[in-house]
Structure 1
Amino acid sequence: MHIAIIRLSAMGDVAMLVPALQVLRQTYPSAQITVVSKAFHQPIFNGIPDVDFKAAEVKGSHKGMLGMRRLAAELKGLGVTHLADCHNVLRSKLLRTFLSFSAVALAAIDKDRAAKKALCKPTNKTWTQLKTSHQRYADVFNALGFPVSLEDFSPLDRLPMPKPAMELLAAWKGKIVGVAPYAAFAAKTYSSDQMREVLSGLNATGKTKILLFGAPNERDSLLELASDLEHVLVVAGLLKFEEELALISNLDLMLAMDSGNGHLAANYGVPVVTLWGVTHPYLGFAPFGQNAAHSLLPDLEKFPAIPTSVYGKSHPAGYENAINSIPATAVVDLINKII
């Protein structure tokens, strides 16, 4: 049997596949497993042995309906017998349709949009913890006939520290904290002033190196954030993605918004502190296996409509700065307590 698992984007959602995938691998050692995603995401799965990777070229040979038909033919040529659709969008639905003609067993994720919509209502919310994305992925495997239990997940092994990171840290022997200050939407991003206060508080102890993560095009703004702080270093733009993952695996803690870096760190068993804006952990997107107390929330009395949307794209007027109601001192105190 050959199980293909498709999740094309976004990086955080792809990273959340790791716990269920690792358990699937160890529970069914005779199964061939192939992850189908964008080529950039391949290093996310390198820590799981005997998992193949198929790059989906959604802007190239696999673009559009004809591209999905081509991808279906390529997967069938690899001997795929089961498809776990962990994305359930137009592209993956087309892929399922084409593979259905070849008697491939199919299952797709239930995103339970109705429950998420109910939680995002401005008033009269249905306050309940929704099923996590990690469990929703596991449910897809269950539906295909491969039951898995996330309780069997073991964090991925730490990776050797990449040489560029070793040179940057210069034989540092103390604690190392990663900070990913940015998110896809402004309402999920802590203000520069308050993040600077957090960095200053961590820097003042002299016992911790703080590494700032982000995209290469964010490097200049991160350098400004880190200016004149002796123990704050910017790694954005210096490392390949696989080197960045290796560095993340060696952190003592990651501070992130509701964004991908928190999920990457959690896969290696790194403690993660998350700052939440107009989204909320109850929607099911908190990093795996983390203490709920490590999710710092805005003042919900002042901002009772939170969560306002699933991904943080929309919110009522005045909620764009809700995340800044989290005191910087509370962030620093929690990090120092954990490490």
Structure 2
Amino acid sequence: MGDVAMTVPVVKGLLQQNPTLKITVLTRAFFTPMFAQLPNVQVYQADVKGKHKGVNGLYKLFKELKAMNITAVADIHNVLRSNILKQFFKLSGIPFIQIDKGRADKKALTANKNKVFKQLKTTQQRYVSVFSKLGYTIRLDDSCALAKEKLSDTAIALLPKEPKKWIGIAPFAAFEGKTYPLELMQQVISSLNTTNTYTVILFGGGDKEKEVLGKWEQTYSNCVSVVKKLSFTEELSLISNLDVMLAMDSGNAHLSAMFAVPTITLWGVTHPFAGFYPFAQQSTNALLANRENYPLIPTSVYGNKFPPGYEKAMETILPDDVVKKVLEVVG
């Protein structure tokens, strides 16, 4: 989801410079609401678990896309499936430009030995390079963020009526290595709740997350969990209205950033140098694990790999420092 969210400001920038372009985004149908604000953009569903499964399914997908009179393909994913699609498009003579993911540089950045610790190109810069090779100009700036959206009646009904600022918190990530310990996050929420000045809105996805955040909602009077209470479209509109988002190095950080919501991110065994920092966010909004104590950070790009002893790296980010940063940003 984060990868898709990072494409949104790039596509908007592309359209601002090239307003006559017609763009088809090939992705999961679930992600369609992300592109709703963009003119001349349609989402085409890749049903990779159904009719587009396997090589034969991908050939069927190719024929469906070719029938839409596509004149060029920007592959900003560069995975096995898109490499197979590339061969079909290549035979048809349609230009097919793929992203350079910088795999060698990322391997050096995350190495245990001879680590090369330096800032790599951002993912958005890599996306822009693909379109540049197709001959299109993109200027990425604050104007590429999406506009705030109208809240749904369902979202309005969930939230308290007091005129408090809204702090979004998304405490989960795909991997343990980049998830802030829940007991520490609960301390953050307790401190924010005690101020009685803000409404804390909790975001998550699965059943486990629903259970955990539901308990926090019951414990803290100024907390509201929206897990499984809103559609994805409604959740996006709510995120666009936040005063600040506190998230991990995860998809929710990119969702709030694409609406220009001030976004604070907590980093464990991953690091912004890998290029996945949320769009147009101040670098001071990143709170990082202590590299003096854990010098091998980043140990992986996605947070799924870390050596023994690095399980507690995120504990070096103190709850008081997180609260201080949230209060500083929210004002």
Q: Normalization by structure 1: what TM-score?
A: 0.95
Equivalent residue pairs, number: 329
Identify if the C-alpha distance between structure 1 residues 83 and 152 changes in structure 2 by more than 3 Å, giving closer, same or farther. Answer: farther
In 2, distance between residues paired with 1:135 and 1:153? 16
Aligned ranges for residues 151-166 of structure 1 at < 5 Å?
Answer: 151=141, 153-166=143-156
Deviation by residue 1:39-63 (Cα, 9 ceiling, x = unmatched): 1111111121221110100101111
The 1:226–1:321 alpha-carbon spacing in structure 2 relative to 1, beyond 3 Å, is: farther
Further displaced range: 122-131 or 64-73: 122-131
8 Å CA contact 2:149, 2:237 repeated in 1: yes
**SS of residue matched to 1:256:** strand
Q: Paired residue for 1:336?
A: 327
Letter in 2 for 1:268: F
- Give unmatched runs, 5+ long, in structure 1: 1-10
Q: What residue number does 2:261 align with?
A: 270
For residue 55 of structure 1, what is the aligned residue in structure 2? 45
Asked if the contact 2:74–2:97 (Cα under 8 Å) also holds between the matched residues in 1, the reply is yes
Partner of 1:68: 58
Provide structure 2 residue ranges, at least 5 long, that are not aligned to the other structure. none
Residue 86 of structure 1, CA deviation: 0.5
Q: 8 Å contact 1:277–1:323 — kept in the other structure? A: yes
Tell me the amino acid that sits aligned with residue 92 of structure 1. S
Pick the aligned partner of 1:190 from 174, 180, 185: 180
2:258 is equivalent to residue 279 of structure 1: no
**1:309 aligns with one of 300, 306, 312:** 300
Task: Note if contact 2:141-2:280 (Cα within 8 Å) is conserved in structure 1.
Answer: no
Give runs of ≥4 in structure 1 deviating > 6 Å: none
Give the whole-Å Cα distance in 2 for the aligned partners of 1:307 and 1:152: 28
Are 1:137 and 2:127 an aligned pair? yes
Asked if the contact 1:187/1:320 (under 8 Å) is kept, the reply is yes
Question: Residue 152 of structure 1: CA displacement?
Answer: 6.5
- How far is the alpha carbon of 1:188 from its aligned partner? 0.8
Shift of 1:227: 3.5
Distance in structure 1 (CA, Å) of the matches to 2:123 and 2:285: 18
Residue 217 (structure 2) aligns with: 226
Q: Which AA in structure 2 matches 1:84? A: A
Confirm or deny that 1:255 pairs with 2:246. Answer: yes
Code of the residue aligned with 2:4 in structure 1: it is V
Pairwise CA RMSD:
1.1
CA contact (8 A) 2:17 2:139 kept: no
Q: How many angstroms apart in 1 are the aligned matches of 2:142 and 2:192?
A: 35
1:126 is aligned to 116
After superposition, give the CA deviation of every residue in 1:202-242 in whole Å (9 maximum; x if it has no partner). Answer: 11111100011000422011112333210011001100001
Residue identity opposite 1:132 in structure 2: T
Which sits farther off after the overlay, 228-237 or 218-227? 218-227
Identity %: 46
Alignment pair present for 1:102 and 2:71: no
Which TM-score applies when normalising by structure 2? 0.97
* Pairing partner for 1:297 from 288, 312, 326: 288
Q: Hey, what does 2:79 align to over in structure 1?
A: 89
